Structures are given as structure tokens and as C-alpha cells.
Structure 1
């Protein structure tokens, strides 16, 4: 089978992790080629995600690289032999490769931490809010319906996560997306979702200054092993899937700083007298009151 020209993010990430392990083990590409009884170019294709490695071949590589049995070993074996098929395949006719890669990444995540300075995070959006956001970039009604359907399908993973933590800037609560009814329903959904025991929603208020509002959004995806955590960032015309541990660590510390500066999390179950003078719930309720 010829090398694939457009590997998925999962395939690229697997290849990158194999390259890291090979480099750490101080093995050359020729060493690995001899181990696999293949030519040097095949090793390059494997590490670029352009070709797959057989199960027994991957087992040999991981052992040669000193990767012992455990979460990382199992996760890499699963990544290699995952067909990459899922509900997102039904949307290949309208969604770009990067959107399909994001859906696949979300399906493998066990935890999600998201910072959003301008809009409500996609995993928490109502259908009406999502439609209003997407209609700004897609005018074709048929495609719009499919795009909205794709976003709502992505939300299914929320129930299966161990932890979801969002820090949302106050500007996202106050930016009018759609009509007043759309915004009210969206803000009420934030309160509803916050009732889930594994979901934490915090609001970063204007009064804390520009620390958050001038930063880009980002998402930290956690999995079965820290080595495979992923930082996701969007740009106007592209996206980044980042697996570099040092860059992920920087964003983890940034997220922790944001969470420490943000208002206390939404807690719809707390009685009014137990709420702090100003917390995320009271600010959200104030914004709801002003929506008339």
C-alpha cells in the first residue's frame, strides 16, 4: 500500500511519539529498519504517520525503545490499531480534515480543560447559539444544518469525560449571539451543565483586567497517560495539535493561573446564603437579568 498523503492527527501523533522514543533510545533509522526488515524510507513514513506498522512490528519497536508495559505502551498500541472510524465519518462531505481530527481526539480524551475569551465553548453550546455562531461563516442552509449537527454530535463526549473544566471570559457571556431568547437559553444551559458532578464552569470577570481577554482560546486534552496529552489551538485559517510536553506544561500553568483568578465555579445547588458576594453564578444571573 502506498504512503498516505494526508494522515490523520492520530496517525501523525503516533509517528511523532515513536520518533521521540527512538531518539531517546539512541537508535538510528537504519537500526529500526533492520529490526523491521524494511528499508530506511519505511521508517520515515511510519514516523510521519504516512504508513501503518503491523501489530507485531510495533511491539518489537516499543520493546527496543525501552517502553515497558503500562499505560503508555497500551495507549500507543491502541492508537496504532484504531481504525479511526466513528460518527464523524458521516460528515466527511462537509467538514475539513482538522474538524474530523478534533472530533476523534475528543472521543479519546478523558479530561478537557478549556479557556475561551470570546464565545461559549462548543461543547456547551445550545443548538440556537451554535447556529448563530456558524451562520457567520456559512451561508448555505444545507451546509449550515450539517455543521450544526456536527457540533451537537461532538457534545456527546461530555457525559463520558472524567473531568471538564471551562474558564470563560465575561465578554463571552455579554457578546450577543443571535437574539435575546437565544442568549438566555445559552446562559441557562451553562447553569444546567454545571449541575453535572464532573463539570466545572468559571467566569473570568472584566474587573480582573486584560490578563485573560487578550489571550487566545485553547483546549487541553488529557488521556490515559500524560505523554499523550494534547494542546489544541485555533487560528483564523488553521489549527494546531501540539504534543510537545514543555508547551503543554506552559498552558497547564496558564490555565491554573486563570482558574485561580476567575470567580468561584458555578454551583446551582448552593443556597443563596452560601454564595460568595460575587461568584460565577451570581455574575451569570446578573447578565441574565440584564437580557431584556
Structure 2
């Protein structure tokens, strides 16, 4: 099979981790090639995510690289065995690779932490809100229809049977920014409260009065792997997203998110009675904005 021209994020991540382990072990590409009975070019393609590595070959490489059995070992083995098939396959002809990578990242994540300063997170959006967001860009009606369907499909991670633990910190400004009509905004805010009833979803609002913090201007998500060494950070950019895989960056963004949760209002608890709210919290702020809009 010829090398793939557009490796997925999963392929690139597996290759990057193997290269990092090989270099840490002080082994050359030629030595790695001998271990799996291949040539140096195949090792280069494996590390670039362009070709797969057989299970037995991966097992040999990990052993030679000093990666003993444990969360990292099992995580890399699982990553190699995963064929990358999922609900997103139905969109391969209409969505670009970064969107497909995002869907797979979300689906495979052990947990997700998300911070949004400007808009409601995609997996928490109503269809009407998502459509209003997409209309801000110069796209055809047909393209917008595809984007909205894809965004709604991504919300499967919140279904009870999948139940990915999801923690979102949303800036107050995102709740106040009118997207579409007033009715669209009211329904979107109501949807946030409804979703907060899910046992695996934590929703916090970062209020204006919390003041400036280095993380408040960044839109980012942290996708938890089977071990922190396999966490992934995705930064939203105007033109294209940026993916960070090294542990130094993923750990740093984990600390930023922890600080955001500390400064944000207490999480939404839709089951709490009104008289139990001794102070301002995320629920009371959302309700205030919903009725004021």
C-alpha cells in the first residue's frame, strides 16, 4: 500500500511519539528498521504517519525503545490498532481533514476540557445558533448545511451511551454576544442549562468581574489520552487550528484551565433550588441573560 498523502491526526501522533521514544533511546532509524525487517525509508514514513506499523513490529519497537507495559504502552498499541473508522466517515467527501481529525479526537478522548471566549462551544450549540455562526463566513447555503449537520453529529459524545466527561469554561462575553436573533440566543442559553443536567458535563461561566487572566483570550481544548503523555491541545485560530502534542505544552494548558475554573463562577447545578443560591453562580448568570435578552 502506498504512503498516505494526508495522514490523520491519530497517525501523526503515533508517528511523533515513536520518533520521540526512538531518539530518547538513542537508536538510529537504521537500527529501528532492522528491528521490524524494513528499510530506513519505511521507518521515516511510520514516524511521519504516512504508513501503518504492524502490531508485532510496534511491540518490538516499543520494547527496544524502553517503553514498558503501562498506560503509554497500551495507549500507543491501541492507537495503532484503531482503524480510525467512525460516524465521521460519512463526511469524508464533504468535510476537510482537520474537521474529521477534530471529530475523532473528541470521540476517542477520555475527557475533554474546553475554554471559549467568544462563542458557545460547538458541541453545546443549538442548530439555529450553529447556523447563525456559519452564516458569518462567506459560504454557500449547501456548505452551511453540511457544517451544521456535522456540528450536530459531533454532539454524540454527550449522549448517555458515550458520555465523554466534558468540562467547559465559557466567557460571559460569549453569552452576551448576539448571534442571530434574540430568540436564537434565548434558546441557546436554555440549551446550556439543559445540557448541564448531564452527569458527565460541567459548565462554568467566567464573569467580567473576574478580571483579566492570561488564558481568557484563548480558545482551546484539551483532549485527555489514556495517560497525560498522550493528551492533545487544540488551539483555535482564524484560518487553521494548531495542535500541540508535547507534554510541556499540554501540561501548561492544563494549568491554565485549572486557573480558569478557579476564577470562574461555580458550575451550573440546574437541580439546585433558587433559595440555595447564596451568591452569584453560573446558573444565575445564564438565567439573568436569558430573561434579559
- TM tier, shorter chain? over 0.9
- Offset, 1:214: 5.2
2:258 is aligned, of 227, 243, 256, to: 256
How far apart in 2 are the matches of 1:210 and 1:94?
40
- 3-state SS, counterpart of residue 115 of structure 1: strand
Q: How many residues align?
A: 291
- 3-state SS, counterpart of residue 213 of structure 2: helix
- Offset, 1:45: 1.0
Cα displacement string for residues 176-208 of structure 1 (whole angstroms, at most 9, x for unaligned residues): 011111111100011011111121111111112
How far apart in 2 are the matches of 1:171 and 1:42?
50
Cα displacement string for residues 121-171 of structure 1 (whole angstroms, at most 9, x for unaligned residues): 001001110111112125322221111000000010123244211110000
Structure 1 spans left out of the alignment, 5+ residues: none
What is the 5 A alignment of 1:114-153? 114-153=114-153
How far apart in 2 are the matches of 1:206 and 1:94?
39
Which residue in 2 is equivalent to 1:108?
108
Whether the 8 Å CA contact 2:171–2:216 is kept in 1: the answer is: no
Which residue in 2 is equivalent to 1:14?
14
How far apart in 2 are the matches of 1:135 and 1:213?
28
How far apart in 1 are the matches of 2:267 and 2:216?
22
User: Kindly tell me: are residues 204 and 212 of structure 1, through their superposed partners in 2, closer, same or farther at Cα, counting changes over 3 Å?
Assistant: farther
TM score, norm. by length of structure 1:
0.96
What is the 5 A alignment of 1:5-44? 5-44=5-44
Whether the 8 Å CA contact 1:67–1:73 is kept in 2: the answer is: yes
- 3-state SS, counterpart of residue 59 of structure 1: helix
Structure 2 spans left out of the alignment, 5+ residues: none
**Comparing 234-243 and 257-266, the one that deviates more:** 234-243
Which residue in 2 is equivalent to 1:94?
94
Which residue in 2 is equivalent to 1:188?
190
Whether the 8 Å CA contact 1:55–1:81 is kept in 2: the answer is: yes
Which residue in 2 is equivalent to 1:168?
170
Whether the 8 Å CA contact 1:212–1:258 is kept in 2: the answer is: no
Whether the 8 Å CA contact 2:120–2:170 is kept in 1: the answer is: yes
Which residue in 2 is equivalent to 1:3?
3
User: Kindly tell me: are residues 100 and 138 of structure 1, through their superposed partners in 2, closer, same or farther at Cα, counting changes over 3 Å?
Assistant: farther
How far apart in 2 are the matches of 1:208 and 1:76?
40
Whether the 8 Å CA contact 2:186–2:291 is kept in 1: the answer is: no
User: Kindly tell me: are residues 130 and 90 of structure 1, through their superposed partners in 2, closer, same or farther at Cα, counting changes over 3 Å?
Assistant: same
Which residue in 2 is equivalent to 1:210?
212
- Offset, 1:14: 0.3
- 3-state SS, counterpart of residue 285 of structure 1: helix
In angstroms, what is the RMSD of aligned CA positions? 1.4
Runs of 4+ aligned structure 1 residues displaced above 3 Å come to none
- Offset, 1:212: 6.3
